[in-house]
A and B are shown apart, each in its own frame.
Chain A
Amino acid sequence: MSSRDPLLPNALIVARREYGERVRSRLFHVSTVLLATLAVLVAFAPLFIRALDSGSVTRVAVIADSPQLSGRTIAILDNILNGALAGDEVRAPFRVEASSDRAASLAALGHTVDSVIVAGRGATGRLSFEFHVGETIGDDRLQQLSIGAFGVAVLDYSANNPSGAFQMPEVQLLRTAIPGGGASLGVADYAGRRIVGIVFVFVIFLTIVIYGMWVAAGVVTEKTSRVMELMISAASARQLVVGKVFGIGLAGLTQYGTILVAAIAALAVEDRLATVLLGPGSTLTPSFAGLTPGLLLAYGGYFVLGFTLYALVYAAAGSLVSRAEDLQVIALPLSLVAIGGYLLSILALTGGTTWFIRLASLIPFWSPFVMLPRLTLGHVESWEVVVSIALLVVAIFATYVVAVRIYAAGVLLYGQRPSLKGLVAATRAAR
């Protein structure tokens, strides 16, 4: 049969029709605008959070190995960080205080203290700063603290009038470790990537399920309108399945791309908007920096593979029912699998890399959802990516073979409740 029915050009002709019908529909336009708006809102989330955060006070505890260094560090930091507002405890964004109990201060990190700075002077007179930061400090404040530390070093050098050359201070940032191991990230970077992850995992889940249902609904509509009778005589089952999945997938990619462009544009202007809204120095780079070209490629790749896998099953499912109202029932198990993957991806986004999350990110029906947050947060070994993609590709081919046979049989079944026995018999009868 395949020799008489090469995949092309009929699969492309079917795909072109499916694509045209989808992208011209009002549903497509409305959903694109809604999803793009949603993506922009989520992309701007850090800005909103920062705007809300602009009135808050960052509490810094300074521990130094000499009272002189402690006093100087506090005075300079207060001056640089609070500027004209120094001394105005109500409006000043930073409250810098001395501390003598290192253990107590570190224990209070994230609770009553946002950052602990341990200042020290080496044998050569070089200053060193250890920045301990909790989850309650934003990246812009952290940057301001770093600038402040540099200022302390410069003014300390001037005050001591040393004969030697200026020595850059040694700055060590002790970042919050991510629960469950993996590469550690800065808190703000981590938060930014999480936002990026949430946006795209949400979009990928929504699009895979929506477009998958489009495929199934398209098959049911063709059966309901009985145009399927003409179609199966004009093209083979595999031409129809591939064409439908490809055409609707391309429509999905068009929408996905539109949403992506809107989200990236929002992330790109976020910095400037932050400067305008929150004043100079209020940068939000981490959320955008999280979107590396590699990550974008991964999002595209996992979307294409994930959609193909789900769409093949949705096409087979759609062929088994004759009425649109039955579709929800037959598609429910698949939707539940997708929802399971989505929930696992949310778990992965919270930083968990338990053995179960790692396993789920390799299982074909879940990997498109679960691997993405892991990649976003940088928790993945390269072999895991290779294995997950290889398993996805194998699963797609296996599903394709089964789906085409089910489709060839299913489209001929009218008014019958799909039973496993009936399906097997019909699959044997069909070509």
Chain B
Amino acid sequence: MSLVLDSVTKRFGSIVALDQLTFEVPRGQVFGFLGANGAGKTTTMRIALGVLRADSGAIYWNGSPSEALPRRTWGYLPEERGLYPRMTVLEQLVFFGSLYGLPKDVAAREARAWLARFRVPDFADRRADELSKGNQQKVQFLAAILHDPEVLLMDEPFTGLDPVNVALLREAFLELRDRGKTLIFSTHQMEAAEALCESVAIVDRGRVVVGGSLAEVKRSTGRRMVIIGIAGDHQLRWIADVPGARVIRPGIERSEVEVDEGIEPDVVLAAALALGLRVTHFEIADPSLEQVFIDHVGRPVDEDLRLAPAAPGGGSDRRSGGARRRQATAPRADGPAA
């Protein structure tokens, strides 16, 4: 009982969007589909939904090919949000529920119940164009789940939401999972994936570079992390003298230290104690999902959301001056980002 993607390939002209994409999502799990823009996440979802046709390979749900499944099997929250601006929220939800085969009265009842769960019962009779973007997004989420789909596909569901709505959405995810639904979402936000997902797949250029349970994926790089806190010392300069260990993320209370494969994390604790430092916290941990992504893909997941390094000597005089100034303060900015 699972969702299986079996060697799915899709080309758009000369561009290979999906290249033998293969992974499996166990039923009743929250699954993170992680990748940078253009990795093929939306294309995969569109093929599952039947909007696009795969060049080869297939997607199966509980053994049935996706083309043979009724549309109500899926709920879909697209990355691009949109509603009919002049329809009321209730009208829209009933309309979409009806398209998925829900009787009108059932759709209306479900819609009102979910609006109440999201603490916005008064939205029912308001037009979509009277709502904020975040609230429109909540309505879209309800449109995706109202017909009680078995599999929920969500493209960047947390983008554009404030922390309160992110928390509400996470709670809804977990509730749906507890009801036996399978949730698959794509995201750039590694923290969200770490907090919610039982299994993940990291995709790059249409291929799965690593996939499996969250613990397996995090251990896939062989890296080990130490989280350490030292009273009165947040710079941890002494770590430089510990072979195979380096500070990845310094912090006032606790810092993250990476330990090379083959080095026991205990050496960090031993070095601190040998120096007579007072250790307030010591924890052996897996690397963050973000670090795992960089290790496997070779660049951060949100690289395309950051400014590229300025070309040396390029552009106008003003730009060149700006580039020189940046180079002076950031000597590594002249090379490509890792």
Contact = CB atoms under 8 A, between A and B. Distances in A.
Interface string B129-154: 00000000000100110000000000
A229 interface: yes
Contacts of A5: 71
A400 to B, nearest CB: 20
11 contacts: A4-B69, A13-B98, A226-B80, A226-B82, A228-B82, A229-B78, A230-B82, A233-B74, A233-B78, A412-B51, A431-B50
Contact of A13 (B71, B99, B143, B144): B99
A360 B220 CA distance: 72
A292 interface: no
Given A226-B78, A233-B51, A430-B53, A4 B83 contact: no
A227 B82 contact: yes
Interface residues of B, number: 34
A229 B82 contact: yes
Interface string B18-42: 0000000000000000000000000
Residue from A222, A232, A425 whose CB has the most chain B CB atoms within 10 Å: A232
Given A4-B68, A4-B71, A227 B53 contact: no
A202 to B, nearest CB: 31
A91 interface: no
Interface residues of A, number: 27
B49 A233 contact: yes
Do most interface residues of chain A lie in helix, strand or loop, or is the interface mixed? Answer: helix
A430 B71 contact: no
A430 B67 contact: no
Contacts of A84: none
Given A425-B12, A425-B13, A229 B80 contact: yes
Contacts of A82: none
Nearest to B75: A233
Nearest to A24: B86
Contacts of B79: 229
B185 interface: no
Give the one of B13, B82, B84, B85 with max A CB within 10 A.
B82
A373 to B, nearest CB: 39
B87 to A, nearest CB: 8
Q: Which of B12, B51, B86, B143 has the most CB of A within 10 A?
A: B51
Contacts of B52: 412, 429-431
Contacts, number: 79
Interface string A234-257: 111000000000000000000000
Interface string B202-215: 00000000000000
A429 B69 CA distance: 20
A417 interface: no
Nearest to B12: A429
B156 to A, nearest CB: 12
B81 interface: yes
B34 to A, nearest CB: 21
A429 B99 contact: no
A2 B232 CA distance: 70
Given A13-B99, A430-B51, A431-B50, A230 B76 contact: yes
B71 A431 contact: no
B80 A431 contact: no
A1 B67 contact: yes
A431 B51 contact: yes
Interface string A1-33: 100110001100110010001000000000000
B95 interface: yes
A234 B71 CA distance: 7
A161 interface: no
B293 interface: no
B85 A230 contact: no
B282 interface: no
A158 interface: no
A225 interface: yes
B51 A225 contact: no
B314 interface: no
A100 to B, nearest CB: 77
Nearest to B80: A226
B60 interface: no
Contacts of A1: 50, 67
A273 B19 CA distance: 78
